[in-house]
Amino acid sequence: MHDVPFWLWIVFVVIVVVSLAIDLFAHRSAHVIDFREAAAWSAGWIGLAIVFGGVVFLVVGTDAGVEYTTAWLLEKSLSVDNLFVFALIFSYFQVPRAYQHRVLFLGVLGALVFRGLFLAAGVAVVSRFTAVLYVFAAILFWSTYKILKGEEESFDPGKSIAVRLLRKVVPVRDEYAGPHFFVKEAGKRVATPLLAVVAAIEAADLVFAVDSVPAVLAVSSDVFIVYTSNAFAILGLRALYFMLAGLLDRFHYLSVGLALILGFIGVKLVLQATHETVSTAVPEIPSLVSLAVIVVVLAVSITVSVLRPPAEQDKNT
């Protein structure tokens, strides 16, 4: 655990609240977000995360700064899978493009809350039962196997538990009503499909947390490091989606890169658990090495995707 001053927590909370308020004000009117606007916002979120990382380096120390950077980059890379699911959900519910940002904004708020709860619980469990790291490693190895074998679990938005529960709690109409989540019909309050989309987004994040939480806990067991890195990665997820929405299929080797990263983090967890529970003679993988591996794997997978486009795309070109 790192010695994090309380005022740094306050600074983090203020940054998040102010940033979300600015984002909400800038998108108060529903409109289609084009590539240029999305790129500008994405650069802003990334810049904010890097600046905060610099503060962590200066205030908490080099080790904490490296852990924060590694955890942020890891979460940022794993969140690419979320982008594919966002596209699937929007396509399934035929969400008008002008309302997609509003949905993702609420999705981010929910993700910040749920990730905080999961990460706090994970840190508490790991601090008391180090052997649970073997379980986390097994989860990551299983995810690696499924990705490499092309057996990733498909996400059906219409059958997600959250959407089914919503339909049992409140009637959901078939037509959208602008950016509204509820409308009155025959004197009764009914939900619009937009609320079902939010429920599907939240359900998807819970699914991805199964991989994300164990992976980031392999980088650090400090609540401040794991949560702030996750939060900044999640905050920039909307802008990244709108920027890459039409380019996702081009990065077809990225899934392989993510599988290799998950496998590597799984090995790191096994070594860490063995070091702490069996023998201190067992070496651990330093965070700086983890950061280097993640950067190299991502760079190679993206480069190969660009140089070797999918067969169908290459034929069309």
pLDDT in tens, 244-264: 766 666 777 888 888 888 888
Angle between helices 62-78 and 254-277 (to 10 degrees): 140
- Report which listed range, 1-5, 44-48, 175-179, 276-280, is most confident: 44-48
pLDDT (tens digit per residue) in 169-186: 888 887 888 888 888 887
For residue 78, pLDDT beyond 60? yes
Q: Is the model more confident about 134 or about 27?
A: 134
pLDDT over 70 percentage in the chain:
92
pTM exceeds 0.75, yes or no: yes
CA separation for the pair 147, 301 (Å, rounded): 14
Q: Are 78 and 215 in contact (CB under 8 A)?
A: yes
Q: Are 219 and 290 in contact (CB under 8 A)?
A: yes
Residues 6+ apart with CB under 8 A from 280: none
> Which tokens hold the place of 305?
């995707």
Give the pLDDT band (50/70/90) at residue 156: low
Q: What is the mean pLDDT of residues 145-152?
A: 74
**Taken in order 204, 207, 213, 218, is the CA torsion positive or negative?**
negative
Q: Are 157 and 163 in contact (CB under 8 A)?
A: yes
How many beta carbons lie within 10 A of that of residue 256, not counting itself? 16
